[in-house]
């Protein structure tokens, strides 16, 4: 059987790799730390904030002392150019949060609160105490990372994913649930929380002073104010009608994440080449990332095709192992799904899963066709794996699905047009698709791909009505969805 440029790994080799790279202990957090944040929101058609899809920059200062944990989170809206300051606290008396009236780097004017919440700043032993499961090791943004999953309470097939650099620093939180089931302030509220810098050590003197000050805080004049601050909608509702906020400047944002520019002008949208080859890892509704390989051939007619291989993806959600594999074979009008198992030292076809009609491969310029907008650009920041002068473009494409549901497709591409990440997040029905995010580890444009590099034992590519090729994002059907 012909294959795309690189041969597929065997099931046993991935099982061995998963076991060989597993750390001897689950991760832990230091007793005090500071971090920078890049927050990507879910799509939400009824969001309380007007610019609900804007990226959010933030910083965290955390400290733990015995049974008490506290977390100060300062957030910057990158389109509205507004600054917000919050303080979360949990101890033997319960959980509460406070609204801090301050300016970026400036003094505290007032403290409003306490307000009751179910949020819990994570203790250093959070991962050991919450049944954290090992995923696998693979690189993100130039750093080799260990990927762990904490099961959503009551779920048997998914959880929240935490990536740690192999030196131990938290690097990313990826949430599959919009309800923040782990009750982590802010980090559990947004769709993706990137943590480019994570530094163990004491909090600032200003935050130490704040800890003492909150003991004497009083509720604001509007005593009926209530907001649990658990979900993205809660946070955006607070920002839309703030008790306190302040303007911020681009320089103040760049003090947190150097090289970041919101909604830069004149940045071209990425385009796939007619022959594109991708390797990476996909996170879905399972407890392991799927090894992923994509072969894409665009001819402009009915012979166009795409084959995406997911090793680890099986027929039962939550039961994925690296001895099973599901392909999505896209032609111009539908998607076939061959399912394989590893047997007799090879991948053998087990069955043909149901076809997905109406879902075809994308056009090369699918980002533009789906209304992509460059929401932010980061240049020369080594924390994102960038060399001096190299840029990373953070693109969002929105897709209303009806019934109040809105998807945001987040697409990360380098300035040279190489793919880094693709994902889809919707606040309503976030698990309506079983493939959530792909991290590219290899992206080859103008790859040496031909018709002989595709296989589809479950169907034959036929032209759709009028020979048209349909965009995946415009015609995706559930539960299956092609992930680029």
- What are the pLDDT digits (tens) for 334-382? 899 999 999 999 999 999 999 988 778 899 999 999 999 999 999 999 9
Same domain, 129 and 247: yes
Q: Using an 8 Å Cβ cutoff, are 137 and 145 in contact?
A: yes
Same domain, yes or no: 122 and 177: yes
431 lies in the same domain as 448: yes
Could you give the CA distance from residue 335 to residue 333 in angstroms, rounded to a whole number?
Answer: 7
At 483, is the pLDDT very low, low, confident or very high (cuts 50, 70, 90)? Answer: low
Lowest mean pLDDT of 163-177, 219-233, 304-318, 357-371, name the range: 219-233
Number of domains in the chain: 2
Q: Are 195 and 217 in contact (CB under 8 A)?
A: no
Does residue 17 have a cis peptide bond before it, meaning omega lies within 30 degrees of 0? no
**16 in any annotated domain:** no
The verdict on residue 248 lying in a domain is: yes
| Same domain for 442 and 298 | yes
CB burial of residue 466 (10 Å; 0-12, 13-18, 19+): exposed
Residues 234, 307, single domain; the answer is no
Q: Which residue has the tokens 């105490």?
A: 129
Final residue before a domain boundary, out of 257, 275, 292 = 257
Report the candidate in 83, 115, 93 with the shortest Cα–Cα distance to residue 223.
115
The tokens describing 444, both together, are 């080859």
pLDDT in tens, 202-219: 999 999 999 889 988 877
Q: Are residues 47 and 188 in the same domain?
A: yes
Angle, alpha carbons 277-282-286 (nearest 5°): 155
Domain identity same for 271 and 351: yes
**Segments forming the whole domain that contains residue 209:** 27-257
Asked if residue 468 is part of any domain, the answer here is yes
On whether the CB atoms of residues 92 and 80 are closer than 8 A, the answer is no
Q: Is 22 contained in some domain?
A: no
pLDDT digits (tens, 9 = 90+) for 252-268: 999 999 999 999 999 99
12 is a domain residue: no
Give the other-Cβ count within 10 Å of 125's Cβ.
12
Looking at the DSSP assignment, which residues form a beta bridge with residue 398? 408
Q: List, in sequence order, the alpha helices (H) in 286-425.
A: 366-369
Paired strand residues for 190: none
CATH number, position 290: 2.50.20.30
Are 412 and 421 in contact by the 8 Å Cβ rule? The answer is: yes
> Cα torsion at 42, 173, 17, 131 (round to 10°)?
-110
**Token pair for residue 276?**
């594109």
Same domain, 252 and 331: no
Distance CA 389, CA 199 (A): 25
305 and 448 in a single domain? The answer is yes
Instruction: Report the length, in residues, of the chain.
Output: 484
Domain end, chosen from 234, 257, 280, is at: 257
> Is 341 domain-assigned?
yes
Examine the domain organization and report whether 55 and 32 are in the same domain.
Answer: yes
Q: Which of 66-75, 233-242, 362-371, 468-477 is predicted least confidently?
A: 468-477
Q: Phi and psi at residue 468, in whole multiples of 5°?
A: -70, 145
| Residue 3 banded pLDDT, cuts 50, 70, 90 | low
Is the domain of 378 the same as that of 443? yes
Residue 225 in 3-state DSSP?
Answer: coil
pLDDT at 471 over 60: no
Residue 433 located in a structural domain = yes
**Last residue within a domain, chosen from 257, 282, 298:** 257
Q: Judge if 244 and 280 occupy the same domain.
A: no
259: left (phi over 0), alpha (psi -120 to 50) or beta: left
Q: Is the pLDDT of residue 110 over 50?
A: yes
In a domain, residue 324? The reply is yes
Judge whether 84 and 75 are in contact, CB under 8 Å: yes
Give the Cβ contact number of residue 283 at 10 Å: 24
The whole-number average pLDDT for the span 411-430 is 94
């Amino acid at each position: 059987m012909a294959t795309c440029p690189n041969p597929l790994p065997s099931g046993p080799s991935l099982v061995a790799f998963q076991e060989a790279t597993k750390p001897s202990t689950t991760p832990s957090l230091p007793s005090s730390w500071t971090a920078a944040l890049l927050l990507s929101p879910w799509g939400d058609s009824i969001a309380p904030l007007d610019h609900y899809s804007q990226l959010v920059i933030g910083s965290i200062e955390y400290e733990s002392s015995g049974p008490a944990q506290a977390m100060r989170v300062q957030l910057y809206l990158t389109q509205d150019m507004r600054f917000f300051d919050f303080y979360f606290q949990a101890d033997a008396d319960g959980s509460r949060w406070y609204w801090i009236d301050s300016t970026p780097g400036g003094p505290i004017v007032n403290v409003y609160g306490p307000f009751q919440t179910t949020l819990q700043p994570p203790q250093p032993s959070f991962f050991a105490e919450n049944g954290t499961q090992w995923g696998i090791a693979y690189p993100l943004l130039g750093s080799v990372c260990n990927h762990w999953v904490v099961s959503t309470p009551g779920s048997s097939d998914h959880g929240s994913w935490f990536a740690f650099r192999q030196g131990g620093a938290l690097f990313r939180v990826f949430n599959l649930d919009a309800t923040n089931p782990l009750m982590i302030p802010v980090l559990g509220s947004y769709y993706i929380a990137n943590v480019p810098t994570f530094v163990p050590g004491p909090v600032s003197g200003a935050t130490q002073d704040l800890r003492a000050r909150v003991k004497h805080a009083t509720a604001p004049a509007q005593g009926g104010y209530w907001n649990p601050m658990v979900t993205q909608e809660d946070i955006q509702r607070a920002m839309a009608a703030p008790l306190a906020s302040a303007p911020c400047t681009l320089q103040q944002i760049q003090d947190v994440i150097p090289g970041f520019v919101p909604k830069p002008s004149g940045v071209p949208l990425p385009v796939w080449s007619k022959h594109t080859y991708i390797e990476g890892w996909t996170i879905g509704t399972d407890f392991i990332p799927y090894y992923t390989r994509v072969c894409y051939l665009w001819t402009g007619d009915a012979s166009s095709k795409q084959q995406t291989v997911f090793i680890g993806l099986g027929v039962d959600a939550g039961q994925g192992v690296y001895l099973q594999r599901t392909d999505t074979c896209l032609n111009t009008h539908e998607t076939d799904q061959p399912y394989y198992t590893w047997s007799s030292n090879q991948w053998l076809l087990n069955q043909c899963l149901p076809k997905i009609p109406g879902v075809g491969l994308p056009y090369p310029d699918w980002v533009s066709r789906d209304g992509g907008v460059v929401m932010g650009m980061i240049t020369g920041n080594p924390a994102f794996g960038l060399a001096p002068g190299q840029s990373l473009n953070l693109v969002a494409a929105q897709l209303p699905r009806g019934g109040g549901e809105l998807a945001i497709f987040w697409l990360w591409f380098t300035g040279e047009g190489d793919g880094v990440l693709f994902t889809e997040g919707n606040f309503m029905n976030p698990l309506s698709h079983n493939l959530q995010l792909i991290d590219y580890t290899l992206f080859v444009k103008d790859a040496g791909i031909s018709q002989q590099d595709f296989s589809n034992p479950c169907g034959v590519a036929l032209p759709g009505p009028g020979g048209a090729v349909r965009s995946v994002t415009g015609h995706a059907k559930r539960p299956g969805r092609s992930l680029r």
